[in-house]
Every structure is written in C-alpha cells, then in structure tokens.
A = this chain, B = another copy of it.
Amino acid sequence: MAIAPNMTSVPSRAPAVVATGPVGSPLGTGRVRLTGGLLHDWQRRNRVATVPHVVREVRQAGNLDNFRRLQDPSVGDYRGRYPFLDTDVYKTLEGVAYELARDPADAEEAEALAVAREFYEESVALIERTQRADGYLGTFYQSPQSAKRPWQDLSWGHEMYNLGHLAQAAVAASRQLGDRRLLDVASRFADLVVERYGPDGEQAYCGHPEVEMALVELARETGDGRYLEQARLFVERRGAGTLEHTIFAADYFQDAVPLRELGSVTGHAVRMVYLAAGATDVALETGDDALVAHLEHLWDDMVARKSYLTGGIGSRHSDEAFGDRFELPAERAYAETCAAIGTVQWGWRLFLATGRADVLDHVERVLHNAYAVGLSEDGAAFFYDNPLQRRPDHEQRSGAEKDGEPLRRAWFGCPCCPPNVVRWMSELQDHLAVADDDSLTVALYASAAIDSPALGVDVTTDLPWDGRVTVRVRRAPDRPVTLALRIPAWADGATATVDGEPVAERPADGWLRLTRTWTPGRTVVLDLPMPVRAVTAHPHLDAARGTAAVLRGPLVYCVEQQDAAAPVDDLLLSPEDVARLAVDHDHPWRVLRGDLAVAPPTSDDPYPPLGATAPATHRAPVALVPYALWGNREVGAMRVFLRLS
C-alpha cells in the first residue's frame, strides 16, 4: 500500500496518484486522453455547454456572493437555504480544473474555457480571502447574521462536507494545473479539523460523509498521513448515534450502527455511498482487508437487492433514502443523480481494492444509465430524481419537480447534482485504466490514448453503440507485459484476435489477460456481442413482476409514448418480440424498432376477480430509445419495464 498503515512511515511528499491495489494504480494526469466516441462527445458537451451553464447558474444563485458578502456587507444577505452551497462552487472548480488542463479543440471550446478560467480565478481569490485565520471556511456559519456558530450543528451543518468538496477541488487544481493555492487553503482547513476532531480531539463526525474520500486524496496529494488517519477515524467513529435531527433518524446519517456492523446499505443514499467510497479509500490505503471484505458485502447486497436496472439507488423520495431490499418501484425511483455519481465513485475504489471485473460491469451500467440520464442532450438541464416509469397522468409537482417546469431543469434550490455532473464528466478519463509496471488493465471502454508505465496504447471503439474494441500498441518494453481487457457479463461469446489471429486465452473472472512481448503496431481486436436482450425481475422484486426490460450492451432501453402507436402501459413484450427488435444503426441513438402486442384494460375495476384477463387486441409499431436519452423531446409517458405477454 502506498501510504503505509503505520502513519509514521508516510513520506513528506507522496507521488500525485498513489492508490495501489491488486491491479495497480490509476494513471496520472494526462496519461489518459479521450480521443473520440460517446465519452469524448460528453466531455466536449461538458466543456462548451454544461460548464458555462453551471458557472452562470452558480453566479446567479449567489454562491459567489456568499463569499463576497463576508468582505463586503453591501452585497446583501446569505443566498439560498442550505449551509452547503459553497460546495457548488467547489464542485464546479473541480471540473473546471480538469477542463482548463486540456487544450481547446476549437474557438468554441476556447471561448467556453475563457468563461471557466475567469470563474476559476475569481473563485480561488474569493476562497483565499474568505478563509479565517484559524483555517475555518464556510460562508454560512461565518456570516455574522448566522444564528449558529461553527461546529455547533455537526448533524446538519455540512461543514466537513464543505471541506471535502474544497479538498477535492484543491487536489484537482494541484494535479491538473499545478496550482497549489486551493491545496493550501484546504490543508489549513483540514489542519483545523485534525486539531478539533483528531485522535485526541472531540470524538465527532459530520452528518454528511464526503470528507473521508477527500482527506485520503489530500493525504495522497500532500503526503501528509494525518489526513488519512483523520479519514480513518471518521469512518470508524461513525455509528455511535451522536447525530441528532428533529426530522431525520440515526439511520438517515448511517449513524445507527458502525459501518463494520452495517448489514445493508441504508439511509440517505448519497451519504451512504460517499461514506462507503471513503471507507474503501481508507481500507485500500491502510491494507484493511477485513474492511474491504465488508464493503464488498455491502456493495454486492446493494447491487443485488437495492439497485434499479439502471444502476440507480435510493428508491425513497422521503429522506432520499434506500428502501428495504427489493423495494424498487419504477415510477417512484428517486435514484438521485448524485447517488449515481457516488455509486461510480465507490465502485471505482472497490475495483482498485479488489480488481473485480463485475464491480466495473455495474459501474458501466450506472455510468451509461443512472448517471447519463441526469443530463439533457444539450447539456444544460438536469434531472434530480430518475424514475424508470412516467405515468400518463404524472404531473411534476413536489420537491425538485415544480409545476409547469420542463422535464429536466436548469437549476435547483438544492443544486447538488448539476456541478456534480460537471466534475464527473471532466474526470471520465481517470477511470478507464489502471496499471503497474507489468500490466495495463483496461477497465472501461472508450476511444482513448493511454500511456501506462509499461504500455502506450490507442483504444478505438464505438461503444456503447457497437461492440468492437481495437487496442493498438504504440509503445512497449522488450519484455512480457499483460494487457487485461474486461469482458462484460453482457458480452456473452466475446472473441479476441491479436493481429488477426484468434487468441488462445479464455476470459477468467471477467478478464481476458493477454501476456505478450508487445511491439508497436500490434493490434488486439475484441468483439463484444451486443444482441438485443431482455431481462425480467427477481421474484421478490414486486414492482417489476410480470414485466421485462430490453437492453443492448450496457444500455437500458425504454419506450416513450411518442414512439408507440398505443399507450405504453398497454404494450406487451414477449421473447419473440425481443428477438425481432431491429437496431436502427442509422439513428444516432441506435433506437430499436419493432411492433408489440397491445392489451388495453377491459374493465375499470382496480381489483377484478382472480382470473380476469386483458387479452391482446392488436399490434402496434414501437421504437425503444436508450433510457439515458429519454425526456429530451416532448414530455409524455415512459416505461422501462414492459408487461410480459
């Protein structure tokens, strides 16, 4: 492990990226570059559309004014209702740091980056000026008008959550831009936290986990092992039941039992996966195999019993929380976009700690469905919650959904998701591969130039639209090196060639490991079959009983009303229908076309006598679209799970 369990051995300045597990370490800044395909398109959209939009919204919402007013009272009152609004600035900065580190491809990108640069400089200066001499930073509690003082309300104050996002932005700025200004600010704030809540300090922790991941990254970037130890303390202390709130119970805060005793992911979903991600970081860095094993148990339970088909988590609107096992109603899937990001963060770390391919399969599922759906095709509107069904009479009316708004919204009163989408889009390339001196492991597929210590390769693929992946070696040593390629569970019958010759190796544990003395120009072609397929539901998943959903590769599909010549609630799917669905390769969304049986209700009786049936009366043409792309056109009914005939 890179930062040793014994803190005394921590080097004063560690390398920039040090997380090392059984499959090696992530590659450092600039070592992976997206070169084309969907993820590249996403990143360009992020740069030219989402970043400028979010910067504008953050300014308009007053998040920067909340800093400014502490120097200039004429700016006015604290804006917004929440004590965590500084994090919108921090999350945006994290994404902006990544974007600024990459050259613009054209004038449009250059123009957008100028906006980002101005925001970056202005924000960093404001943040530096606002930090108190003792290191504290949080505009909500620093306000003279605040009814509460710092550290009075750890349950709801979000003060260390603020530190967490600040530190993550700071690490990004340091790594991507070599700008250590924010790192100095974050370190001073972290020092204050270590002083107050360190080994000999108050045995407390923050109501919203997040700082744990950030402190580990801060330790990696600064080489200061105290931050890792502080993260470990926060993980281990939690569960003492010290967090109190008039509305939320201990379970909401993951504070009813210690993490090591937790039987299943529980409570507020974002809090839960952020905590688990931070705990996985701690376990990886401290070599705590027992903790890794427990986190694997929690992950496996979540994937098998508390995840939607899209990878979305946290089914409950109340408390934005996990439900019971198999409590996964499609129309009420809260499945917050931030929870999808947290799942990807946790899954990535769990992959680093275990090397498990199936964990990446789920990360891929989340990325292309529960995460991707959160952003509009034009990159300037967001879903907060991500249901798998929209009923024909659904009205947007509560919480994030206000009357008369478009389906995705430009901003929210609690705007956690948009800047979270921004930062994650900007960091996609960090999650494609890991390596050590003898291997390169390709974890997620996208067209990219990858420079690992042993191998330089160019990956070319049209995934998720087409299943071919080409890996061309650009640089290789004169010794055997293992190129490990993930074979997703959805790719039954995958085949591979090296320079046109079928390989003898067989996939094991989800990996095709090719050990060769590679030479520049050698080319691996991996063919991942992507037939249209359908899945049904576990017998305990009541909400999806008697239905099936259509997938192709990692993509979940759905039917929007405008693409069906009958009410989506009346469509029937059969195995034969699935086999006949045709991929429209000319359509940018690769829609699936076919026709399905239609079975309208035959009675208004909500609970007809057992034996009542609604037979199919005719067939209707239907197109299915990727779930991630629904809600970009006319608003109407939508279903992922279709009734089985």
A residues lining the B interface (CB < 8 Å):
81, 246, 248-252, 256, 264, 266-267, 303-305, 307, 309, 316-319, 321, 323-327, 329-332, 389, 391-395, 397-399, 402-403, 533-549, 569-570, 575, 578, 599, 601, 603-612, 614, 641, 643-644
Residue of B nearest to A610 (CB): B534
Whether A538 contacts B327 by the Cβ 8 Å rule is no
CB neighbours (8 Å) of A249 from chain B are 397-398, 402-403
Known: A251-B403, A545-B546, A643-B545. A538 touches B324 (CB 8 A): no
Whether B547 contacts A601 by the Cβ 8 Å rule is no
CB neighbours (8 Å) of A539 from chain B are 569-570, 599, 601, 614, 643
Whether A601 contacts B331 by the Cβ 8 Å rule is no
Q: Kindly name the residue among A395, A534, A540 whose own CB sees the greatest number of chain B CB atoms within 10 A.
A: A540
Residue of B nearest to A251 (CB): B397
Whether B546 contacts A546 by the Cβ 8 Å rule is yes
Whether A251 contacts B541 by the Cβ 8 Å rule is no
List, sorted by A's number, 10 A–B pairs whose CB atoms are closer than 8 Å.
Answer: A252-B397, A318-B318, A318-B399, A325-B393, A329-B543, A332-B332, A533-B610, A541-B606, A545-B546, A545-B547
Partner of A535 from the list B402, B549, B607 (CB cut-off 8 Å) is: B607
Residue of B nearest to A535 (CB): B607
Whether B332 contacts A610 by the Cβ 8 Å rule is no
Residue of B nearest to A604 (CB): B304
Whether A610 contacts B643 by the Cβ 8 Å rule is no
CB neighbours (8 Å) of A644 from chain B are 610
Residue of B nearest to A492 (CB): B609
Whether A250 contacts B305 by the Cβ 8 Å rule is no
Residue of B nearest to A612 (CB): B536
Partner of A324 from the list B309, B331, B540 (CB cut-off 8 Å) is: B331
Whether A304 contacts B575 by the Cβ 8 Å rule is no
Whether B570 contacts A395 by the Cβ 8 Å rule is no
Partner of A305 from the list B319, B389, B403, B606 (CB cut-off 8 Å) is: B606
Shortest distance from the beta carbon of A495 to any chain B beta carbon, whole Å: 21
Per assembly, the copies of the chain total: 2
In whole angstroms, how far apart are the Cα atoms of A537 and B544 in the complex? 14
Whether B324 contacts A393 by the Cβ 8 Å rule is yes
Whether A601 contacts B540 by the Cβ 8 Å rule is yes
In whole angstroms, how far apart are the Cα atoms of A402 and B303 in the complex? 27
Residue of B nearest to A574 (CB): B610
Using A533-B610, A540-B569, A548-B610 as known contacts, list a sample of 5 further A-B pairs with CB atoms less than 8 Å apart, ordered by residue number in A.
Answer: A317-B318, A324-B393, A325-B393, A534-B609, A538-B601
Residue of B nearest to A331 (CB): B327
Residue of B nearest to A305 (CB): B606
Known: A251-B398, A535-B609, A538-B606. A327 touches B332 (CB 8 A): yes
CB neighbours (8 Å) of A548 from chain B are 610
Shortest distance from the beta carbon of A147 to any chain B beta carbon, whole Å: 13
CB neighbours (8 Å) of A267 from chain B are 397
In whole angstroms, how far apart are the Cα atoms of A389 and B541 in the complex? 13
Whether A538 contacts B325 by the Cβ 8 Å rule is no
Known: A393-B325, A403-B251. A538 touches B607 (CB 8 A): yes
Whether A321 contacts B398 by the Cβ 8 Å rule is yes
CB neighbours (8 Å) of A610 from chain B are 533-536, 548, 575, 578, 644
Whether A304 contacts B643 by the Cβ 8 Å rule is no
CB neighbours (8 Å) of A251 from chain B are 395, 397-398, 403
CB neighbours (8 Å) of A324 from chain B are 331, 391, 393-395
Known: A246-B81, A249-B397, A539-B570. A329 touches B326 (CB 8 A): no
Residue of B nearest to A309 (CB): B607
In whole angstroms, how far apart are the Cα atoms of A542 and B332 in the complex? 12
CB neighbours (8 Å) of A250 from chain B are 403
In whole angstroms, how far apart are the Cα atoms of A250 and B401 in the complex? 12
Give 3 closest A-B pairs by Cβ, nearest first.
A546-B546, A534-B610, A324-B391
In whole angstroms, how far apart are the Cα atoms of A533 and B305 in the complex? 33
Shortest distance from the beta carbon of A64 to any chain B beta carbon, whole Å: 23
CB neighbours (8 Å) of A266 from chain B are 395, 397
In whole angstroms, how far apart are the Cα atoms of A246 and B437 in the complex? 57
Known: A398-B252, A534-B609. A543 touches B543 (CB 8 A): yes
Whether B605 contacts A538 by the Cβ 8 Å rule is yes
CB neighbours (8 Å) of A536 from chain B are 607-612
Partner of A331 from the list B248, B542, B546, B569 (CB cut-off 8 Å) is: B542
Known: A329-B329, A536-B612. A549 touches B607 (CB 8 A): yes
Shortest distance from the beta carbon of A18 to any chain B beta carbon, whole Å: 35
Shortest distance from the beta carbon of A78 to any chain B beta carbon, whole Å: 15
Residue of B nearest to A397 (CB): B251
Known: A325-B393, A393-B264, A534-B610. A403 touches B332 (CB 8 A): no
In whole angstroms, how far apart are the Cα atoms of A392 and B535 in the complex? 25
Whether A391 contacts B546 by the Cβ 8 Å rule is no
In whole angstroms, how far apart are the Cα atoms of A329 and B547 in the complex? 15
Known: A81-B246, A403-B256. A606 touches B569 (CB 8 A): no
Known: A545-B545, A606-B304. A326 touches B611 (CB 8 A): no
Partner of A543 from the list B393, B394, B542 (CB cut-off 8 Å) is: B542
Shortest distance from the beta carbon of A172 to any chain B beta carbon, whole Å: 34
CB neighbours (8 Å) of A264 from chain B are 393
Q: Kindly name the residue among A395, A537, A607 whose own CB sees the greatest number of chain B CB atoms within 10 A.
A: A607
CB neighbours (8 Å) of A609 from chain B are 533-536
CB neighbours (8 Å) of A612 from chain B are 536
Residue of B nearest to A317 (CB): B318
In whole angstroms, how far apart are the Cα atoms of A601 and B304 in the complex? 13
Residue of B nearest to A536 (CB): B610
Shortest distance from the beta carbon of A194 to any chain B beta carbon, whole Å: 32
In whole angstroms, how far apart are the Cα atoms of A81 and B393 in the complex? 35
CB neighbours (8 Å) of A542 from chain B are 329-331, 389, 543-544, 547, 641
CB neighbours (8 Å) of A389 from chain B are 542
Q: Kindly name the residue among A264, A542, A605 whose own CB sees the greatest number of chain B CB atoms within 10 A.
A: A542
CB neighbours (8 Å) of A614 from chain B are 539
In whole angstroms, how far apart are the Cα atoms of A570 and B614 in the complex? 26
